[in-house]
């Protein structure tokens, strides 16, 4: 096994500058002629001149009678002119062609009896009155569109009006996408169960969409297995057929770093490794004068690297301008340390709480594609910085509209699946509203409320002393803050064990059996408090529980430990057990409440949310999930 270190790793700015300066995009761009009717959104490759004038003949601009203006000269109400219909006056409608010999239209409203023949004309009409003349809009030879502009629907109309039926446009650059990896199976086969040892290949779909959005024409090549010769052959073929090639994955620092070698074998590697995160394992090269990009394998890295290095080239070749994302000043909800020397992009959700738009970070791993799906914005930590500071303003690139942010309610605290249901129903009720949830644990939610980082909290903390939920904690951490405690649901907590319950675990008392390995939740988690309560109730000592000190941060992480055999048992909710097919031993229902400060409660957006919570639709959907009891749902249980 050889180690490849990014010896030549470049800063993001350096890499971008060198990369973009390398290509003469205007010189490389190609054009084609396509029907005007199919040219919407394309970019003109040359100025387009009118082939005929528009109107091409004189047209009536009003409904009435076409006449020769001279025939009306001298007419007055007392001394009217009489014009024979069909000879000196022709009934005509707006847009119709003027009969030969006529040069003016008398509006129908000005003719005393439009049904008479001859008609009576009570005043003079001037030449060209109410007539759209030849060339009034466009003259033969006049420029209809310059080059380099996007063809709008009305520009299509203008071109056709000018007799132009085919338009010279920039050809969409052809972008070949080569997925690499022996373990990958194509998306076309995802319908079936995933075969053991196989992973779904979906980056090519993401990249295809990004290519199209940048103005290119994607073409996904067959998956290439981890074999240097096969990859080199596939690259050669792709370079011959395309204007730009993306090799996805295969560019990690490991033994399978064939992308680098394939590009180096056929052409030149300019950059191997960019000091950005996600996106570090990016390879930039040139083969036969064409750009070839080794795009990282993790989906978030793939997207961010694409935006920096592929999108500007594709747009440049297409003649398309990529509008920069709108920017907004936001306040990080927490300190965000970042490795100096790397430009880091942090996905965040955004919501206005009070005066400030609060940025709550999403998981930072490059493999968590949901962090992009859920992101409202991107924060950039410059390479020279050690991170972003809590509550210190920074610019966020927006992935949603400013209106979305104004319509967002931020709930931080313990996660529960019914929050997803609520988010969905709230958005259905009012498309301007969104519910953004961050999973920071029950106590984390109370802290967020104290610091003004959330509109509401989600909490299920049982106080073992008083056997009450949430109130003692609120009194301790949010003393004197006017707020209401509103129940969302009771949910079943229980023990998750391997399928078939091979260790015959029946109750909380089994946890002290010396041969059993338990997996715990972190301090401050409601489920941890619940465990402590249950142990105390049974008179058991936490020290007797093997693995009490091993902590996980989510129900699901606990379930994964049990699923993988790293632990025999954990405490959690039914949904997590179900997700991995574990057995579930119900212990007791626990109360999950929303903590709602008065300022939120009086907010119209929250009132809409409350009406959604109290509607039968939500309660039926939550019941259908299993493990929930909605008896107190929407009830104000307590306030201070």
Q: Which of residues 463-522 bind a copy of itself (CB under 8 A)?
A: none
Question: Residue from 18, 194, 395, 636 that binds a copy of itself (CB under 8 A)?
Answer: 194
Counting contacts by CB under 8 A, is residue 161 touching a copy of itself?
Answer: yes
Which among 175, 266, 235, 243 has a CA at the least distance from the CA of 24?
A: 243
Question: Residue from 18, 373, 549, 620 that binds a copy of itself (CB under 8 A)?
Answer: 373
Give Cβ neighbours of residue 476 (< 8 Å, ≥ 6 apart). Answer: none
Counting contacts by CB under 8 A, is residue 145 touching a copy of itself?
Answer: yes
Counting contacts by CB under 8 A, is residue 416 touching a copy of itself?
Answer: no
Query: Minimum distance from CB of 189 to a copy of itself (Å)?
Result: 9
- Residue found by looking up tokens 């060339």 in the block: 135
Window 101-130: residues binding a copy of itself (CB under 8 A): 103, 108-109, 114-115, 127-128
Question: Residue from 566, 602, 607, 611 that binds a copy of itself (CB under 8 A)?
Answer: 566
CA separation for the pair 373, 370 (Å, rounded)? 5
CA separation for the pair 342, 277 (Å, rounded)? 6
What the block records as the tokens of 315 is 């747009």
Window 592-631: residues binding a copy of itself (CB under 8 A): none
Which among 443, 444, 454 has a CA at the least distance from the CA of 408?
A: 454
Count of residues near a copy of itself by CB under 8 A: 120
Distances (CA, A) of 42 to 36, 383, 532, 615: 10, 37, 65, 48
Question: Residue from 86, 112, 157, 289 that binds a copy of itself (CB under 8 A)?
Answer: 157
Q: Give the burial class of 65: count Cβ atoms within 10 A of its Cβ; 0-12 exposed, 13-18 middle, 19 or more buried.
A: buried
Counting contacts by CB under 8 A, is residue 254 touching a copy of itself?
Answer: yes
Question: Residue from 287, 350, 512, 560 that binds a copy of itself (CB under 8 A)?
Answer: 560
Query: Minimum distance from CB of 553 to a copy of itself (Å)?
Result: 11
Window 13-52: residues binding a copy of itself (CB under 8 A): 36-37, 40, 47, 52
Query: Minimum distance from CB of 192 to a copy of itself (Å)?
Result: 10
Query: Minimum distance from CB of 595 to a copy of itself (Å)?
Result: 23
Counting contacts by CB under 8 A, is residue 3 touching a copy of itself?
Answer: yes
Which of 251-259, 269-277, 477-485, 524-532 is the region at the interface with a copy of itself (rule: CB under 8 A)?
251-259
259 by DSSP, 3-state: which? helix
Q: 28: part of which helix (H) or strand (E)?
A: helix 25-28
Counting contacts by CB under 8 A, is residue 364 touching a copy of itself?
Answer: no
**Which residue number, 54 or 470, has a Cβ lying nearer to a copy of itself?**
54
Counting contacts by CB under 8 A, is residue 87 touching a copy of itself?
Answer: no
Question: Residue from 424, 522, 599, 635 that binds a copy of itself (CB under 8 A)?
Answer: 424
Q: Is the peptide bond before 278 cis (omega within 30 degrees of 0)?
A: yes
* Beta strands per DSSP E along 244-382: 244-248, 268-272, 276-277, 283-287, 290-295, 327-332, 336-337, 343-353, 356-361, 377-381
Q: Are 526 and 441 in contact (CB under 8 A)?
A: yes
Which among 398, 303, 382 has a CA at the least distance from the CA of 339?
A: 382
What the block records as the tokens of 216 is 């290119």
Q: Give the single-character DSSP code of 96.
A: P
Q: Give the single-character DSSP code of 26.
A: H
Bridging pattern class, strands 551-552 and 462-463 = unpaired
CA separation for the pair 113, 204 (Å, rounded)? 71
Question: Residue from 76, 165, 288, 335 that binds a copy of itself (CB under 8 A)?
Answer: 165
Window 320-339: residues binding a copy of itself (CB under 8 A): 321, 323
Counting contacts by CB under 8 A, is residue 206 touching a copy of itself?
Answer: yes
Distances (CA, A) of 235 to 71, 210, 387: 78, 20, 39
**Which residue number, 135 or 387, has a Cβ lying nearer to a copy of itself?**
135
Question: Residue from 106, 246, 293, 423 that binds a copy of itself (CB under 8 A)?
Answer: 423
Residue span 522-551 as binding mask against a copy of itself, x where in contact by CB under 8 A, dash where not? ----------------------------x-
Query: Minimum distance from CB of 303 to a copy of itself (Å)?
Result: 6
Distance of CA 251 to the CA centre of its chain: 26
Residue span 270-299 as binding mask against a copy of itself, x where in contact by CB under 8 A, dash where not? ---------------------------xxx
Which among 28, 27, 103 has a CA at the least distance from the CA of 65?
A: 103
Bridging pattern class, strands 468-469 and 462-463 = antiparallel
H helix runs in 6-149, sequence order: 12-22, 25-28
Question: Residue from 32, 82, 86, 93 that binds a copy of itself (CB under 8 A)?
Answer: 93
Window 377-406: residues binding a copy of itself (CB under 8 A): 401
Question: Residue from 13, 31, 110, 136 that binds a copy of itself (CB under 8 A)?
Answer: 136
Question: Residue from 20, 29, 185, 187 that binds a copy of itself (CB under 8 A)?
Answer: 187
Counting contacts by CB under 8 A, is residue 431 touching a copy of itself?
Answer: yes
How many of the other CB atoms lie within 10 Å of CB of 555? 27
Question: Residue from 61, 381, 534, 582 that binds a copy of itself (CB under 8 A)?
Answer: 61
Query: Minimum distance from CB of 547 to a copy of itself (Å)?
Result: 11
Question: Residue from 154, 479, 515, 539 that binds a copy of itself (CB under 8 A)?
Answer: 154
Strand partners, 143: 49
Counting contacts by CB under 8 A, is residue 207 touching a copy of itself?
Answer: yes
Distance of CA 94 to the CA centre of its chain: 47
């Amino acid at each position: 096994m050889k180690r490849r270190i990014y010896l030549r790793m470049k800063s993001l700015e350096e890499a971008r500058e060198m990369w973009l300066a390398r290509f003469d995009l205007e010189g490389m761009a190609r054009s084609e002629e396509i029907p005007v009717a199919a040219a919407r959104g394309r970019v003109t490759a040359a100025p387009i001149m009118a082939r005929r004038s528009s109107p091409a003949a004189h047209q009536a601009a009003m409904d009435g009678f076409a006449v020769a203006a001279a025939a009306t000269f001298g007419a007055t109400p007392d001394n009217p002119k009489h014009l024979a219909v069909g000879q000196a006056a022709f009934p005509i409608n707006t847009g119709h062609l003027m009969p030969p010999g006529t040069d003016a239209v008398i509006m129908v409203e000005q003719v005393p009896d439009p049904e008479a023949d001859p008609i009576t004309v009570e005043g003079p009409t001037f030449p060209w009155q109410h007539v759209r003349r030849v060339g009034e809009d466009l003259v033969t030879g006049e420029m209809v569109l310059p080059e380099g502009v996007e063809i709008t629907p009305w520009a299509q109309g203008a071109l056709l009006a000018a007799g132009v039926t085919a338009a010279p446009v920039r050809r969409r650059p052809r972008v070949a996408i080569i997925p690499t990896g022996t373990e990958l199976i194509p998306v076309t086969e995802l319908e079936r169960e995933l075969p053991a040892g196989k992973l779904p290949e979906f980056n090519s779909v993401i990249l295809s969409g990004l290519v199209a959005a940048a103005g290119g024409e994607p073409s996904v090549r067959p998956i290439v297995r981890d074999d240097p010769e096969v990859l080199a052959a596939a690259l050669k073929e792709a370079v011959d057929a395309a204007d730009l090639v993306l090799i996805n994955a295969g560019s990690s620092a490991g033994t399978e770093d064939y992308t680098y070698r394939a590009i180096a074998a056929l052409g030149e590697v300019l950059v191997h490794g960019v000091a950005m995160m996600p996106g570090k394992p990016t390879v930039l090269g040139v083969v036969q004068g064409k750009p070839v990009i080794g795009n990282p394998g993790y989906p978030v890295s793939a997207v961010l690297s694409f935006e920096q290095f592929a999108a500007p080239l594709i747009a440049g070749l297409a003649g398309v301008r990529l509008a920069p994302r709108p920017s907004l000043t936001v306040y990080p909800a927490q300190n965000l340390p970042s490795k100096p020397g790397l430009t880091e992009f942090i996905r965040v959700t955004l919501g206005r709480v009070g005066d400030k738009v609060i940025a709550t970070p999403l998981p930072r791993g490059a493999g968590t594609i949901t962090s992009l799906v859920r992101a409202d914005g991107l924060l950039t930590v410059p390479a020279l910085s050690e991170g972003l500071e809590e509550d210190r303003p920074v610019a966020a690139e927006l992935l949603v509209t400013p209106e979305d942010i104004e319509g967002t309610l931020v709930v931080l605290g313990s996660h529960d699946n019914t929050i997803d249901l609520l988010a969905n129903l709230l958005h259905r009720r009012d498309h301007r509203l969104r519910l953004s949830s961050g999973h920071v644990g029950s106590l984390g939610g109370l802290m967020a409320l104290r610091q003004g980082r959330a509109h509401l909290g989600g909490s299920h903390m049982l106080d073992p002393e008083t056997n009450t939920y949430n109130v003692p904690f609120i009194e301790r951490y949010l003393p004197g803050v006017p707020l209401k405690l509103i129940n969302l649901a009771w949910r079943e907590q229980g023990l998750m064990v391997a399928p078939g319950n091979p260790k015959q675990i029946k109750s909380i008392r089994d946890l002290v059996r010396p041969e059993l390995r338990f997996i715990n939740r972190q301090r401050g988690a409601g489920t941890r408090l619940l465990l402590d309560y249950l142990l105390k109730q049974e008179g058991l000592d936490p020290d007797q529980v093997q693995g009490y000190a091993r902590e996980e941060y989510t129900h699901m992480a606990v379930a994964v430990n049990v699923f993988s055999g790293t632990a025999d048992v954990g405490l959690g909710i039914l949904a997590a057990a179900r997700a991995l097919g574990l057995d579930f031993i119900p212990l007791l229902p626990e109360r999950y409440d929303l903590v709602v400060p008065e300022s939120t409660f009086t907010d119209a957006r929250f009132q809409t949310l409350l009406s959604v919570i109290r509607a039968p639709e939500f309660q039926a959907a939550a019941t259908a999930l299993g493990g929930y009891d909605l008896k107190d749902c929407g009830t104000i249980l307590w306030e201070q």
